[in-house]
Chains A and B, each alone.
Chain A
Amino acid sequence: MSAAAVPIPASRFEAAAMVIAPLVLAFAGAALLLAVAGHNPFEVYQLLVVESFGGTRRIAATLAAATPLMLTGLATAVAFRAGAFNVGVEGCVYVGGLAAAYVGFTYVGLPAPILLPLALLAGLVVGSLWMLIPGVLKAKLSVDEVVTTLMLNFIAISLTAYLVNGPLLAPGSANSATPVVDAAARLPRLMPPSTLNAGFLIAVALLVLYWLWGQRTALGFETRLAGLNARFATASGINVPSLIIKMMLLSGAIGGLAGAVHALGNVGRFVSGFSPGYGFTGIAVALLGRGSALGIFLAAILFGALSASGATIQLFSDVPIEIVNILQGMVMIFAVARFGWTFGKKRRAA
């Protein structure tokens, strides 16, 4: 079941087509839908572009919306690189976000240089631990990680909902929210009044590290080898199970960090329905970006732009914001499909 999710391109031309084709198809499909519903697709798309990139303030909003997606896309990509298909990043966002918020509203009084890193670290560690069980089960017992991580998403969402409705509920507040985190735990804003914050710098720095790690280090090479062909990697002396556990923990850590950044940078607390599907969008980001650092960056900005502008176009026109989800779902489906050249051929062995 965890066989190659992304078709491997044969040539440079094919590689370029594989990135562009899903986008073109998705936008064409959504255009058709918009036209049927009585909107002018060209006007809508123009509006989307203007609202997401027309001006410094709007670009800042787009980058702010892209920040958690860079992290969840990266989290998906690192696990995928080792051949583990982690669909549980959404759960890591939840538990990591709650852990970071907890530190942020509990240890008030600590100075920012201590409290902020501590809160980020809490998100990172808890997110990582959340992936320990599926990582170990996959590596040691070959238990399908897709199922276990998917199940853990629902457990994470319900478990955090329980905590913020009960033990961690803000005193005297409305339902389902923790107290607000201390000002010292907030990620500094980069361009007020936009919500763009230092989390963006963290995400970009991690993407650069990821690029260096994949290009320059032995572990990066071994991981890619293990992901491409586990049996060959084992034969060349690589300890594949230990690699899978490491990469699942790393994936969970980055997913938890995404939650921490969302909690400390955007929301300022943990609320129920904390993530608007960041983990799932992260899968689309990783797929569209083909697992490369630059690809993840650009794909995250694309989806960030869609969600940032989607919210505003709904205010100024009668175009439903759902067009964003529709595009996202179609990009995901088309990103893993192989068109034309394999049609009818027997490719699927499993």
Chain B
Amino acid sequence: MIENVLHSAIIMTTPVLLAALGGLINRVGGLVNIGLDSMMLAGALIGLILASQTGSWGIALVGAAAVGGVLGLLMSLCVTRLSANEIVVGLGFNILIAGLVRFFLKSAYGTSGTLSLPDVARLPRIDIPVIADIPYLGAILSGHDPLTWAAWLMVPVTVWFLRSTRLGLRLRATGSAPEAARALGLSPLTLRDASTIFAGLMAGLAGAYLSIGVVGLFNEGITAGRGFIALAAFYFGRNRPWLTAAGALLFGFFDALQIRLQGRGVPAELIQTLPYAMVIVVLTLMALAVRRARAKGA
């Protein structure tokens, strides 16, 4: 039971982690991405279609990332070049893409809501020979797919990118002091566009993970609001990659636990509220800490 929960917690974490790291980079660049869920949804659909038509999960991932990136670009252009409010555009994207996806399913496949295709190339599992037999550790480390490994590898890469690369520094400058960044000859808007495209790529991959990694079919409710959980994760992590990953893992754990506990008297719906409630608590504690620090300084 415990090994099962641990294993599925890692699986449930992967899509949230991917989208959350994208959203983190986006937020560091100065844009809070509320449209992650729509990019996940589009990625899940395109990923499944490509995995069925080409028989290659690699092409499916590339396609899913591309469609997420394009949506990210469109969303970013609305915000950076047309001065649209990012929250409204994000919510608008969620409504629009959900509608487009269902419209497309009906028009192209004549189905409503669920799409099941033949010969879907699923993500392969990587079993690690010796570790697989070690209790607990085997459940955590073995039997996962390449995308899960890539997601976790992205955590230190994101740390390194933000801390040690020129581009990461510029992105941070863009987000925290756009005027100063502009004075230095950078183009904050272009950097912000790039960070939103990246968020879209990651969310597209997260979506593909759900369709060709977890279940092997597409459903209009496949993201189950995980784009918003990702938002909760990077708010919880306060823009720090490892803390964001910890947040994603916590949510993945709740998700896995909730499925396990179903029918055992623990209401799944109440567990589902925990990640969101945690974000409110964390934001409150942070604000209290800021106020205390300010009171001391004054």
Interface check A16, CB cutoff 8 A: no
Interface string of B262-279 (1 = CB under 8 A from A): 000001011011001101
Among B97, B232, B267, max chain A CB count under 10 A is at B267
Pair B270/A338 contact, Cβ less than 8 Å: no
Are A322 and B235 in contact, with the CB atoms below 8 A? Answer: no
Q: How many residues of B contact A (CB 8 A)?
A: 52
CB contact under 8 A between A326 and B99, given known A148-B280, A159-B269: yes
Q: Does A9 contact B (CB under 8 A)?
A: no
Given A141-B291, A147-B279, A326-B100, A336-B91 contact (CB < 8 Å): no
B239 contacts partner chain A, Cβ-Cβ < 8 Å: no
- Say yes or no: B92 contacts A1, CB within 8 Å: no
Stretch from A103-111, A150-158, A257-265 that touches the partner = A150-158
Most-contacted residue by chain B among A142, A323, A326, A344 (CB, 10 A): A326
Asked if A324 lies at the interface with its beta carbon under 8 angstroms from chain B, I say yes
**Known pairs A151-B277, A165-B269; A5 contacts B81 (CB<8 A):** no
Interface SS, B side? helix
What 0/1 pattern do residues 283 to 306 of A give for CB contact below 8 A with B? 110010000000000000000000
In angstroms, Cα B79 to Cα A74, docked, is 25
Shortest distance from the beta carbon of B104 to any chain A beta carbon, whole Å: 8
- For residue B86, CB closer than 8 A to chain A, the reply is yes
Within B23-77, which residues are at the interface with A (CB < 8 Å)? 30, 32, 34
Which A-chain residue is minimally distant from B228 (CB atoms)? A154
Q: Does residue A170 face the partner (Cβ distance < 8 Å to B)?
A: no
Closest A residue to B287 by beta carbon equals A141
Q: How far is the CB of B155 from chain A (nearest CB, A)?
A: 23
Interface residues of A in 304-348 (CB under 8 A from B): 320, 322-326, 328-330, 332-333, 335-339, 342-344, 346-348
Q: Does B93 have its Cβ within 8 Å of any Cβ on chain A?
A: yes
- Tell me, yes or no, whether B288 is within 8 Å of chain A by CB: yes
Once bound together, how far apart are the Cα atoms of A141 and B34, in whole Å?
23
Q: B189 to chain A: which residues have CB within 8 Å?
A: 346, 348
**Residue B164 lies at the interface, judged by CB distance under 8 Å to chain A:** no
Q: Is the CB of B86 within 8 A of A1?
A: yes
In the bound complex, CA of A85 to CA of B90 (Å): 14
Chain B contacts for A155, CB-based, 8 A: 273, 276-277
With A5-B87, A283-B88, A333-B84 already in contact, the answer to whether A320 and B102 are too (CB < 8 A) is: yes
Contacts of A154 in B (CB 8 A): 225, 228, 272-273, 276
Give complex CA distance A154, B271 in Å: 12
Q: Given A328, A329, A343, which contacts B97 in the complex, CB threshold below 8 Å?
A: A329
Nearest CB on A from B218, distance (A) = 15
Shortest CB-to-CB span from A119 to chain B, Å, is 24
A142 vs chain B, min Cβ distance (A): 7
Quick check: is B152 within 8 A (CB to CB) of the other chain? no
Query: Does A37 lie within 8 Å of B267, measured CB to CB?
Result: no
Within A133-191, the residues touching B (CB, 8 Å) are: 133, 137, 141-144, 146-148, 150-152, 154-155, 158-159, 161-162, 165-166
- Interface contact B288-A5, CB-CB below 8 Å: no
CB contacts (< 8 Å) of B86 on chain A: these are 1
A281 to B93, CA, bound (A): 13
In the assembly, what is the distance between CA of A330 and CA of B279, in Å? 30
Is A337 within 8 A of B78, CB to CB?
yes
- Residues of the A chain whose Cβ atoms lie less than 8 Å from the Cβ of B80: 348
* With A151-B279, A329-B95, A337-B83 as contacts: A320 and B103 at CB distance below 8 Å: yes
Q: Which of A141, A146, A161, A287 contacts B288 (CB 8 A)?
A: A141
Complex CA distance for A332 and B232, rounded to whole angstroms: 23
Q: Does A274 contact B (CB under 8 A)?
A: no
CA distance A342 to B272 in the complex (A): 43
| Chain B min CB distance to A248 (Å) | 14
**B106, CB-defined interface residue at 8 Å:** yes
Cα distance A145–B292 in the bound complex, in angstroms: 20
Given A137-B287, A323-B103, A326-B96, answer yes or no on A158-B270 (Cβ-Cβ < 8 Å).
Answer: yes
Whether A117 sits at the interface, judged by CB under 8 Å, is no
Sorted from nearest, which 6 A-B pairs have the closest CB atoms? A329-B96, A325-B99, A332-B92, A162-B269, A337-B82, A329-B95
List 25 A-B residue pairs with CB atoms under 8 Å apart, sorted by A's residue number: A3-B85, A85-B87, A133-B280, A137-B283, A142-B287, A143-B284, A147-B283, A150-B34, A154-B276, A158-B273, A159-B269, A159-B273, A162-B270, A165-B269, A166-B267, A283-B88, A320-B106, A325-B96, A332-B96, A333-B89, A336-B88, A337-B89, A338-B83, A348-B178, A348-B189
| New A-B contacts (14) at CB < 8 Å, excluding given A332-B89, A337-B78 | A4-B85, A33-B103, A37-B107, A141-B284, A141-B287, A142-B287, A147-B279, A150-B34, A154-B225, A155-B273, A325-B96, A337-B83, A346-B182, A348-B178
